[in-house]
Amino acid sequence: MITEPTAGGARKGVPRTVEVFADVLCPFTHVGLRRLVARRAEFARDEPVLVVRAWPLELVNGRPLAPDVVAEEVAELSSSVAPDLFVGFEPAHFPTTSLPALALAARARRAGPRVGERCSLALRHALFEEGRDISDSEELARVALECGIDGARGEDHAAVLAELERGRCLGVVGSPHFFVNGAGWFCPGLEIGRVDGHLRIAVDVDGFASLAERCFGLTGS
């Protein structure tokens, strides 16, 4: 059984932010962020705020993400655990790099954590729900305007590399990796594997419940 927090009231130990290391092109992150935001909305709260930091897989893996691999992941996610998401995804418009979008997200965080969260969600919505190439400068300018910020600067591109190194120091193992008050969860809420060579994804109820308990001050029994 899970006891929900008292509506409208703060609970002791509930974090003000959740730190997430992720690639903006990672479809698993899109699902995780959207689920956590939806859970937060159920409580009519505006905290914790998601601070989504850069974990550029093209640098971690030494090569860009392959559109066909991401398309396979999106197809399985849509059919198994997230039928309401990825409605406009277009593999033909998949970005060749995530670095410009990650730099824009870093620029947004300099404007404040809520602006940063809004930008991180908007970039993923543009890619996965509208089929836009978020490595394109015009698309990035559109997202920046939507979030009320200007474009990324040199310091924001440097921040992407700095966050990658910080993630490595924290023991990030992949995208997304959530941290709440010192505890970490890699890709909570999803069980990902292959059966006879075919990708299979299922909901990890316990994994997401563990994260939600820490994020929202729920108590399990």
In whole angstroms, what separates CA 114 from the centre of its chain? 14
* Partners of residue 183 on adjacent β-strands: 180
In 3D, which of 147, 128, 137 has the Cα closest to residue 33?
128
What was the pLDDT predicted at 79?
96
Q: Are strands 183-186 and 177-180 parallel, antiparallel or unpaired?
A: antiparallel
Q: Model's pTM, two decimal places?
A: 0.91
Structure tokens at 173: 């193992």
Q: Please write the tens of the pLDDT for every residue from 171-215.
A: 999 999 999 998 999 999 999 999 998 999 999 999 999 999 999
List the strands of the sheet with 49-54, edge to edge.
49-54, 17-22, 177-180, 183-186
Map tokens 């992407």 to a residue.
160
State yes or no: pLDDT of 221 exceeds 60.
Answer: no
Which of 19, 15, 65, 28 lies closest to 176, judged by CA?
28
The DSSP 8-state label assigned to residue 64 in this structure reads P
pLDDT for the residue numbered 11: 52
Backbone φ and ψ for 51, nearest 5 degrees, come out as -100, 100
Q: Which domains does the chain have, with CATH numbers?
A: 2-220 (3.40.30.10)
Residues 146-169, buried b or exposed e (16+ Cβ, 10 A)?
Answer: ebebeebeeebbebbeebbebbee
Are 179 and 170 within 8 A, CB to CB? yes
d(CA 65, CA 150): 27
Over the stretch 137-147, which tens digit does the pLDDT of each residue have? 999 999 999 99
